[in-house]
Structure 1
Amino acid sequence: MSEAKVISTNLKYSQGRTLVELMIAMTIGLIISLAVTAMFVNNSQTYRTFDDKSVMEEDGRMALNMIAYHVRMAGTGPTLNTGLQTATGGGVSSYDLTGGEAISGCSGGYVSPVAVPVACNLTTTGPDSFTVRYVVDLDNSNQASPSLVAPTDCLGQAVALNVRPPPGQSDYTVENRYYIAVNPTTLRSELYCAGNGGIPLGGAPFLAGQPIMENVIDMKLIYGYDQQNYQSANSFFNAADLMGATVPAPVGEATPLPGDPAITKWSRIVSAKICLLMRSANDGLSPKPMTYTNCSGTVVTAMDKRLYSTFTTVVGVRGRLSGSTL
């Protein structure tokens, strides 16, 4: 009898869970798993969003700084004495850019970014492009390499030496062209630059442009125009306006000195407002298509779920602003 009692007691304490208890435990475990999974997904999405946003902002600021540096440099260079101005009491002449504008632009971009001379699309639908030119020497420029002593263009290509006839001196004219294009490798819209380095002086066409910043999908420029030569902007136009007949011609000196460069609308540009539209590298970062204001001031709803942001700066052409001696 006592042995049977012991067996009955052991069976009592070895009983399993009921079906209801198992279902409750499974439900609690499933809820915890779903909560952990949702937290992981949300944290991953937040990290991706902030990572892409920080990269986009860093690239936008870097691209603007790069462009602004070259706009400030537009038209700078050492002065040259032509002899003609000295004979008439006029002193030294301006620097010589070997037949090109210090800064010029194309509304709607270039027909070809490497063609010489440049041809413009003259539309308002596509991204703008622009060209800057300036004169440097070995004392105020980056050299291509220790073995190749020569200033460089925007891509680090050595620029050919420009040997001027007396009473001039030898120097280098740098020409950089900035534009937006689709990278055939990444299939992304990127900021490109083509320079006059790597080819003989006056050679054509330029070597192929290269991307310098990715995920730039638009660029617009508005130029500050100094019609009266007061060294400050009195009106603002895009490139298409400046190349048309509606913008008034610049007022020139009554008696220009011999040897002075021609007075053109582009020669009276003293500043530029630059706008870049950046897009995140990855899609699916926004819960719905983002609404943003583009570089033309138009409110646009995106066709995808990427992040978009505009970056804007105003840059003065240093050699033409008030207080400059050039």
Structure 2
Amino acid sequence: MISASRRKSGGMSIIELMIAMAIGMFLIAGAISLFVVSKRTYSEAERTARMGENSRFALQTLSADLRLGGFFGEVPAADLKGRTGLAAVTGDCTGRGAAYGYNNYLFVARTNIGGNAIGCIVDAVPNTDVVIIKSVRPFPLSDGVRDDPGDDDGTIDMPGVLDGQKTYVMANPITGRIFDGAGTVPSIGEGGAVPRGNAWEYRFQAYYIRAGDVPQLSRKVLSWDGAGMAITTEDVVEGVENLRVMIGEDRDRDGETDRYLDSTDTSIDWSRVTSMKVFLLVRSADRDVGYTDQRTYTLGNTTLAAPNDNFHRIVVQSDVSLRNSKLLVRGTK
């Protein structure tokens, strides 16, 4: 005879199994949903952080170089003398953009419908600004220990010697000469071309937005190409798809900006420019298929139409006081 307890010791019923499976599927679905949401949140945070980092780096780099615009060591551009002995620059820019045209040390141009500007830029995003900056690096080379006449021998050698693959400005508080490091060096001895002069590395930069699958902030620079000085391209940061600049003018020469003008305004007096407002439109590196950008963007006095694509964007701005220009403007009041 089989006991009642043994008859009741069977496994799970079909109903219990179905309930268990339903609960399990519910838990799995919840876990998957949580994973998807977490991944999307992480992707959005990473995308925003990357755009923020790129925009900060782009603004900091461009703003720092703008502040140095017109700095030629110990003299203003007007006191720099001829460029005797300078070799021609391969692929040089034209007009105000010419690499050795140091009197036009700050200038902004606008690219045409073909993405061209200043004779040396042919790959830019159309209808964006180009910022041309000419200056020297703020780290001079000198003849021995500075301010120690006893250490002078008439040769630049502190903290290093001249580089034959660079261009320099030799300057003292009265005058200056621009020259190739491999060429004839201006005399810095007593009675020389630049007595007690120091050598400062000359820089030419033209910032612009380079077109491509991923647009980027790039710049044309003066550098050695293996045979001589040439205009070459450096990429600064990717994802920057528009650059606009408003030009601040000091009309009464009191050191304060009186009005801001579009960079294409023909009434700008560049000898009175003391500040600039820089606007950048920065784009995410990848598409977000679940997002459509239907916003308009204002850069200075220009409003851009909604892109209607799958990229995220932010606009960043920097107000840059042009220190050297401001000193020159006030000095000629």
Q: TM-score, normalised by structure 2?
A: 0.69
3-state SS in 2 of match to 1:192: strand
Aligned to 2:42: 47
Contact 1:102–1:267, Cα closer than 8 Å, also in 2: no
Letter in 2 for 1:276: L
Tell me whether 1:298 sits opposite 2:303 in the alignment. Answer: yes
Tell me whether 1:71 sits opposite 2:66 in the alignment. Answer: yes
Q: 1:138 to 1:313 in 2, by over 3 A?
A: closer
| Separation (CA, whole Å) in 1 of partners of 2:53 and 2:315 | 12
1:77-156 to 2 correspondences below 5 Å: 77-80=72-75, 94-95=79-80, 98-100=100-102, 101-108=104-111, 111=116, 115=120, 126-136=127-137, 138-139=139-140, 150=163
Could you tell me how far 1:307 is from its partner in structure 2?
1.8
Contact 1:75–1:134, Cα closer than 8 Å, also in 2: yes
Q: 1:286 to 1:271 in 2, by over 3 A?
A: farther
Aligned to 2:264: 240
Letter in 1 for 2:234: Q
Aligned to 1:206: 231
Q: 1:38 to 1:80 in 2, by over 3 A?
A: closer
Could you tell me how far 1:64 is from its partner in structure 2?
0.3
| Separation (CA, whole Å) in 1 of partners of 2:289 and 2:123 | 36
Give the gaps of 5 or more residues in structure 2.
82-98, 143-158, 169-177, 180-185
Contact 1:129–1:179, Cα closer than 8 Å, also in 2: yes
| Separation (CA, whole Å) in 2 of partners of 1:160 and 1:201 | 14
Could you tell me how far 1:240 is from its partner in structure 2?
1.4
| Separation (CA, whole Å) in 2 of partners of 1:137 and 1:34 | 61
3-state SS in 2 of match to 1:37: helix
| Separation (CA, whole Å) in 1 of partners of 2:12 and 2:253 | 97
Give the gaps of 5 or more residues in structure 1.
82-91, 152-157, 249-264
Could you tell me how far 1:127 is from its partner in structure 2?
1.8
1:130-279 to 2 correspondences below 5 Å: 130-136=131-137, 138-139=139-140, 150=163, 159-161=166-168, 162-163=178-179, 167-168=193-194, 171-183=200-212, 187-198=213-224, 203=229, 205-207=230-232, 209-241=233-265, 244=266, 247=267, 265-279=269-283
Q: TM-score, normalised by structure 1?
A: 0.70
| Separation (CA, whole Å) in 1 of partners of 2:296 and 2:65 | 28
What count of residue pairs does the alignment treat as equivalent? Answer: 272
Letter in 2 for 1:14: G
Could you tell me how far 1:21 is from its partner in structure 2?
2.6
The root-mean-square deviation of aligned C-alpha atoms, in Å, is 3.7
Contact 1:160–1:198, Cα closer than 8 Å, also in 2: no
Could you tell me how far 1:320 is from its partner in structure 2?
2.2
Give the % identical residues.
Answer: 18
Aligned to 1:13: 9
Contact 1:107–1:128, Cα closer than 8 Å, also in 2: yes
Contact 1:75–1:319, Cα closer than 8 Å, also in 2: yes
Contact 2:109–2:117, Cα closer than 8 Å, also in 1: no
Contact 2:292–2:308, Cα closer than 8 Å, also in 1: no
3-state SS in 1 of match to 2:202: strand
Contact 2:141–2:160, Cα closer than 8 Å, also in 1: no
Could you tell me how far 1:316 is from its partner in structure 2?
1.1
In the TM superposition, what whole-angstrom CA distance separates every residue of 1:284-319 from its partner, at most 9, and x where no partner exists? 176443525242552643422332101101101111
Contact 1:160–1:201, Cα closer than 8 Å, also in 2: no
Could you tell me how far 1:13 is from its partner in structure 2?
1.2
Contact 1:107–1:129, Cα closer than 8 Å, also in 2: yes
In the TM superposition, what whole-angstrom CA distance separates every residue of 1:55-74 from its partner, at most 9, and x where no partner exists? 11111111101000010000
